[in-house]
Amino acid sequence: MTTASELVRQGYKCFTEGDIDGLLALCADDVEFVSNGPASIKKCKAYKGHNGIRQFFQILGETWELSSFVPHEFIAAGDTVTVLGEEAGRDKASGVPFQCRWAHLFEIKNGKLVRFREFLCHWAGEQKPPAMSWNPA
């Protein structure tokens, strides 16, 4: 049986490989997917079900070009997995570079992702996040 942490790691692998169908196969049909962050970021809202997740990734692909995406720390507690990470890229419309740090919370039930919550900190242009060390993933 796949553990919650293994399922989350597989989901990140699917995401980084652009395999959205593979990622959806890991999700319950009625999965809840919420991206919390600045209202100015188009992807930051609530999504429901597989179609909602497809909409999230469509918005992400249309608005951002990622140059890095790194999940640094995995913290598992039963069927809940918290991942701390960061990403960088540029806004496609403005060309402005950005850096983000995030916490992703995953809830797994019966071997499927049932709830994903992202908490996003975003720095654009010349803004930089404070220096920080990470524990190895």
pTM for this prediction: 0.93
- Structure tokens belonging to residue 111: 């071997």
Q: Is the pLDDT of residue 135 over 90?
A: no
Task: Report CA Rg, the chain.
Answer: 15
What is the per-residue pLDDT across 33-62, written as a single tens digit (0 to 9) for each?
999 999 889 999 999 999 999 999 999 999
Domains along the chain? Answer: 4-124 (3.10.450.50)
Q: Is the pLDDT of residue 1 over 90?
A: no
What is the per-residue pLDDT across 69-100, written as a single tens digit (0 to 9) for each?
999 999 999 999 999 999 999 999 999 999 99
* Averaged confidence pLDDT in the chain: 95
**CA distance linking residue 135 with residue 129, whole number of Å:** 17
**CA distance linking residue 128 with residue 68, whole number of Å:** 15
Eight-class DSSP state of 132: -
